[in-house]
Structure formats: C-alpha cells, structure tokens
Structure 1
C-alpha cells in the first residue's frame, strides 16, 4: 500500500538529491502581492541577521510526476515555493543550483509555452527588463515580484559579500516540510481537504490560555479572557468590538470619558447577559432562540441618527495582533526595568514570551493582570492615535486616522453614542505615520513601541502627539545614531524622551555623501522629503493641490532626466543624472510607464494624471513645474530641498 512520506528538508538537500518541480496545469498562476513578497524577504533577512539555526518556511505537498522519478508536481505551497525560487534566481551564488539543474530550470511549468519562455528568459539579460511581463497579462505578478525582490536586495544588502552570506544562509538554513503523496491519491479529494482545512490554534490563543491560568477566580478569569478577545480583533475599532461582545453600544458609550477605564470595561463583561452565550448543542436544539438572541444583539448596536456612511467604512489594522502583543511586551518590560526582547518576530511569539514574561521566578496573578491592563491601554492608544487602512471605495484603501467622539441626544432622556469621524487636523500625523509604515519593515515597525509608550503614558492631545511623532522620526531615522541598532534606538528614545538633537549639518553631510547613489539611494529619504514638502505646502503655494495628499507604497527610483532615452538628444542630465535632484520615488508601474521617455513627454503625462486628481509624488510635482530640465535645474531642485530640510530640522529640535 502506498504511504504518505513527510520529511524536513532544505534547499541544499533538494539540490543534492537532484529533485525537480513542476507546477501542473490544474494549479493557478502566481498571485502573490508585493507586500507578501516583502514580508517573506524581511522574515528571511531578520532570521539571517539573528543567525537563527533554522528558518521554517512552511510545508509543501508534492506528488511524483509520471514522467520522471525525480520530478514532483507541486500540489500545495506553490506560491511560497515559487517566490523562494525567484529570490534564489536574483541572489545567485550558492542558490544558483536551486534555480538551474544542468543548465535547465529546476522549476517547470506545464501551463502554457509563453510561461515557460518567460521563465527561461529570466536569466537572459536581453529579456530581463521589467517590460517583459507586459507581453503576458497573466505574468504581471511575477514581474512585480521579481522587481520587488531586486529593490529589496539593493535596499538591504550593502555589498556583494553580504549578498553571498545571505544566499548561503537560505541555501543551508531555510527548512520546509516536504510531503510526498502517492500517485494513486485522489487529487480532487485532496484539494477539497486542503481548501476546507481548519485553522490551527493561533499562538496568541495558546499564550492567552497560559496567562489566564494564573488568574484563579473563575469570574475574574472570564472577564480578562473577554478583554483579551476584544483586543485581539484588530480589523475594527475597540469600542465597536466591545459593543458586539456585550450586545449594547449605548452601554459602551456611557462609560467613555475621553477614554476607557479598564475597570469599567471589565464591569461591562461581568454584567453582560449570560444568556447570550450558547453552546453548540443549544443552537442545534433551539435555533429559534439563537435567532432571537442574534436579533436582540443587533438591535442594541445603535448609532447616532446623524451618522454618515463614511463613519462605517471598513478598516484594517497595520499590525497583526501578535505584533501588537510584542510591542506591548516591550513597553511592559521597559516599565518593569527588564531587558528588551531581541526582535519583533510574530513567528517567535511563544518563545519570546516564555523567555521574557513567563519566567517562573517572577510571574503571578498580579503580574499577569498588570500585563493585561497594559495590553488594553496599548490597544486603546493604537486605535486612537495610529493609522488604519480604510476602505474608501470598492478597490481602494488608504491610510487615515478617525477621531472618536462621544455625542449625546435627548430623546426620552439622554442617550450617548460613540462616533468615528474624519478630522482634517489629523492629516499630517496620518501622512507621517504612513511614510514611516511604508519606509520600514512590515513585520516589525519598531517606531510604534516608543510612540505607543508615550501615548499611554502622557495621553496627549493630537497636536502634542503629532509634535512628538515628528521628533521621534528625526531621532530614530535622521540623527547620527546609525551605529546603534534600531530596537535599541527605540528604547533610548523612551528613556530620554528624545533628548537627542537632530543636527542638520550631519544630515546634509549624509545626503551629500549619498547624492550620487542613483537607484541605491535609501528610500527613507524620499519618503521623508515627501512629508517635508507637504508640511511646507503653504510656503510652496501648494495648499490646494496637496492638502489631501495620501502616501502609497513606492519601491522604484525614477530618473526624471532619463538614463537611456530612445533619442540620445533627450539625455538632458549627465552630471546630475544619479543625484537626488534628478530622482523621485514612485511605484513600479509608474516607473515602467515613464521609462525611457523624454522629459517633455513625462511632464505631459504627469499633468494629465494630475488633472484627474492623481499625483505621482510631491517631489515630481515640483520638478514638472519646470518647462525644461537639465543638470542645472536638477542642482537647483536639490538645493531647494536642502533649504527645506534645514528649516524643518531647525524648527523641530527639542533642545
């Protein structure tokens, strides 16, 4: 009888055993987003820098292909496996044998010939431009993934030596569980099982159970379990999750007094109707009771009569709950004068808490309750002061902060409501946070630890929070502290309340040294300059044009004066070609759209898009105000940027 075999393996073993892989015709094409690619790359990079013995990438299910004993069809895990293959192809070095076997691709496609041709041409310089994917509409995701990987390599791996070391780490330390199912397996049933498989118990649920075990009183334990539960629902506002938990929005509004006191929330959980909790057998035996309860809860979730539709736009958190837990742990440890965690890595959630919190010599009920209370304060501050992804149309999300208001109405007695409303005065803080979010690692966002710490400690006004965030940005990313690791810098900023002056001259020296870097120029400075331009929009007579500007993810450096124009006469920049004055940070698609076109053509395209309400970047908008473009104009633009930087840093020094 055929059996299923599972083995923990690595790329080195795959190469040694001469395995090849095929994506069969019944599989979908590559669909991973650039954000998913970025997350995998940064996870791998974090593990490499921490010198982790193993980085577990997950499981891959295969079935032996009938054409060869060494060829395996990828049944499950093909998206992740393909991304690893693409990364290996771009890194090269020790990973080259994983990409190619005897000069042929180790990863094969049984879909269409154009797909195979595309993969065969990846290593061919004549066909390696980002425009290749335009020939195949079904391969746009592949093209974007490759470009994203190359940008991440340029951004994070400083030289060829580090690139080789990273390649070696992936080759030897990245592990996967390779499960081979028999050829006789009914693949239809297997796919059905894979598509319907239940989620494993989340690590944060295991952590919750371990912590609650220290709370002996059953009623108290249930209250804190509900507190944890409402904090864990990240893709909604806290007050709405609490209302759904207890079945009443009015009761939640009643206890809100410029914030929530944790004891008031716990009391709501204590007094909530126990009849609203049913076990499965009750639901099956008396479905009509379940319907009555569901209707009752829905009826009690009421909103202010003047509520607008945009108050209820779906929101999505910029952090996962495990990430928020790790930021909370850092704050809690700092408050207890304990050592900081090594890194924010949600895959190491249980390991990190075991090492830093669940230490037998210090943990008890009082200690656990204090952690829960810190978690609740962090979560409330996160909802109040930090951006969320807000769905503004069917296919568009943007970052924003909505203020929470308590509003009453007299109708047979006073009734209170909590509302989430847009506030123009929050646009600046939202924009700066968006810039920090896009310029930092998705999986860490270290800047949030000190920001949230000061929000829960000071409970500031939005004006004070915005001012403090600008100082935090300057201290963490613009001051002369690069010799200190980013996690350590965040802890230092909590200790000293940002008692570090951002020296404008040092910043200018840094930018001057980087000024001929071309596409290797650090992306952070482009993001930073976007914010500073927006900040001085009134001074630049751009108040009307830029007032509602939103930041999007950008990963491609565009030369305004083209590097290799179609017509040599259109090469308007030579000395300034790779300097900040001639460069802007845009999306990959915009870079491809402008490509090798002449300045005048690009300017016309930009103005057409601007007329429709779309601006590539604020820096681009300044540049395309110019009728002509050349080395002198690029130099003048750079000098204008430096003047604004100088003004900004002198305006925002604390000392």
Structure 2
C-alpha cells in the first residue's frame, strides 16, 4: 500500500506539473526583455518506450486572454501568496479531459475569470463594516477547492460577491492596486473586441492587442494633490472627495509619478503622448481615456464621467462572468 501511495503521489505531481506548464504564465525572454507568457507544450512519446513522455515548451505565446488575466493576477497579488493558483491547478487537473473537448471551449479561461471575480474581488479589508464576517483569503481558497471536489457544482460560490461599490469610495493612495490592474485587463479585453474607441488614430488595433500588463507601484493623481501656484483649474484639487476618487487616479510606475508630480493636466497629457504615443509604448490603458488630445483641462465633470465609465466596465464584466458561471455549474 505504501508503494501504491508513492506511485499515486508521483503521478499526481506529474499531472499538476503538466497543467502548470500548459496553462500558467512563465517568464520568457523576449527580444527586449523578459515577459510573462503561456507557451504551447508539446507531448512527445519515446519512439522505443511508448509509456515515456517528454514535454517540450515552445517560446511563442498563445492563449492571449488567459495570459493577460494571469499577468493581472501575478502583478496584483503578493508574490508569496498566489492563492488563486492552488484552486486553479486543482480545477485544471480534475477537469483536464474536459478541457480537451472542442465542444466546450475556453473552460480554463471561464473558470479563472470566475475564480478571480469571486475570490479576489472583495473590498472587505478596506471598507469597515462590522456586520460583515469576512473570511481570510486563505480560508476562502479552501472553499473554492472543496467546491471542485465536493460534487456540488463548480461556480456555486455566489456568497462571495464582487464589491464594485468600492469604486465609489474616495480612498486615494489607499486604493488597492488590484482594482487598477483589473481595470487594465477589462479595458484590454473590451478594446480588442472593437475597431475604434480606444485611442483614436494614435493607437493601432495591433498595439492594443500586443499590450501587456506589467508591474506598477505608484498611484498617480491626475488632478494634482498640491497644484502649483498659478494653475488655471484647481476645482478638482480643492475637492478632497473628488481628488481621491477612482476617477482621478491611475496606477503608474514610480518614475512617471515622480516626474509628473504636481504638474498641470496639460503638461501630463503632453508627457503622456510623448512617452506613450510617439514611442509606441502604452503605460496604462486607463490613461488613454484620460489624456485625450481634444482636452486641455481636467474638470469635476471629467472626473465623474471617467469614473462612471470605468465603473461601467466592471459592471458589464460582472454580468459576463455571471453568464459564464452557468457553464461551469454544469461541468
């Protein structure tokens, strides 16, 4: 029995390693830098011993939407606690044969969208509410794993609902970076499905498709916190609730935040076009709708309209994930 247990354990390790290689992003060296990709994995059987299988991972990327979602998760979660990965690997291992069924496409993506949306999309640590008994993330992870193995039906964890109302709060620098990263994924997902509406003639559809979510660590106020004397429009900066709202914030690199500092909207817009449009490098998709060429000022109405449109992205995606949940429940 001990020998059988060891053999079963080794077989399980092999299965987990296989789905990990096939469906999870890895750092792959690109032409200019390392990039997170999902690369095709080939199974090659030994010509002499058919029971021996070798795996070969190619370097070209595929499954672009699954890879983009995982980039978002990779950069938005603590490096040592990728809680989403354990239930995701369990789902892949338990349902691998079904994932190969061409009549049921994209189940690996649907499940990760569901898992992310209900496991991580909670604002409880940031909004005080004594009436809510919030389970720690580690405990919620076990709930999703039990969901896979219990036979109750995958996708039944409606008790963990995404807290989109967090976007109405004025948290300023306390906004969880997760929500900015998630928005980048939602905007990218939206933009690759339309021909226009993501950057006008300045950004090509191909550049949108090739956009990769990367690490950023600094929350930028679009209307500055401390406007320089003589700035013409300070109505947003003088309204603390509006200043610290999601509509007036973006997640950027620390170097950009430092160089833009308390500059005017017009100055930041020029810098954005200089570094993003001319150099064909998009810092953040959220900023494409902020630093538009037909705007010279950033007003209260602009902040509110931008926040409303960004929140609508989350609301639309919430409906999409819920519609996909029915396919998971029937697995």
What secondary structure sits across from 1:484 in the alignment?
coil
Highest relative contact order (Cα 8 Å, sep 6+), 1 or 2?
2
Task: Tell me the alpha carbon deviations over residues 416-469 of structure 1, each in whole angstroms, 9 at most, x when there is no partner.
Answer: 995615355x11111111111111110121110011001111112572211111
How far 1:375 sits from its partner (Å)?
1.3
Contact 2:39/2:57 (<8 A) preserved = no
What secondary structure sits across from 2:135 in the alignment?
coil
What secondary structure sits across from 2:87 in the alignment?
helix
In structure 1, the partner of 2:107 is 464
Q: Structure 1 CA distance, aligned partners of 2:141 and 2:166? A: 21
In structure 1, the partner of 2:135 is 484
Q: C-alpha root-mean-square deviation of aligned residues, in Å?
A: 2.6
In structure 1, the partner of 2:304 is 635
What secondary structure sits across from 2:40 in the alignment?
strand
Gaps of 5+ in 1: 1-362, 409-415
In structure 2, the partner of 1:180 is none
How many positions carry a matched residue from both structures? 281
How far 1:365 sits from its partner (Å)?
2.9
How far 1:486 sits from its partner (Å)?
1.1
Q: Pick closer, same or farther for the CA change 1:470–1:501 going to 2, 3 Å.
A: same
1:431-450 map, 5 Å? 431-450=68-87
Task: Tell me the alpha carbon deviations over residues 47-71 of structure 1, each in whole angstroms, 9 at most, x when there is no partner.
Answer: xxxxxxxxxxxxxxxxxxxxxxxxx
1:539-554 map, 5 Å? 539=194, 541-542=197-198, 543-554=205-216
**TM-score, structure 1 normalization:** 0.40
What secondary structure sits across from 2:36 in the alignment?
strand
**TM-score, structure 2 normalization:** 0.78
Candidates 560, 566, 571, aligned match of 2:222: 560
In structure 1, the partner of 2:158 is 501
What secondary structure sits across from 2:30 in the alignment?
strand
Q: Structure 1 CA distance, aligned partners of 2:177 and 2:123? A: 17
In structure 1, the partner of 2:236 is 573
Contact 2:184/2:286 (<8 A) preserved = yes
In structure 2, the partner of 1:184 is none
Candidates 259, 263, 270, aligned match of 1:597: 263
- Which of the pair is proportionally richer in helix? 1
1:577-588 map, 5 Å? 577-588=243-254
> Which has the larger Rg?
1
Q: Structure 2 CA distance, aligned partners of 1:534 and 1:614? A: 14
Runs of 4+ in 1 over 6 A off after TM superposition: none
Q: Structure 1 CA distance, aligned partners of 2:11 and 2:78? A: 28
Q: Pick closer, same or farther for the CA change 1:616–1:502 going to 2, 3 Å.
A: farther
Candidates 321, 326, 329, aligned match of 1:652: 321
How far 1:385 sits from its partner (Å)?
0.4
Q: Structure 1 CA distance, aligned partners of 2:186 and 2:308? A: 14
How far 1:503 sits from its partner (Å)?
8.2
1:169-568 map, 5 Å? 364-393=2-31, 396-405=33-42, 418=56, 420=58, 422-424=60-62, 426-459=63-96, 460-461=99-100, 463-478=106-121, 483-496=134-147, 497-501=154-158, 507-512=163-168, 515-537=169-191, 538-539=193-194, 541-542=197-198, 543-568=205-230
Q: Structure 2 CA distance, aligned partners of 1:481 and 1:566? A: 36
Q: Structure 2 CA distance, aligned partners of 1:419 and 1:442? A: 24
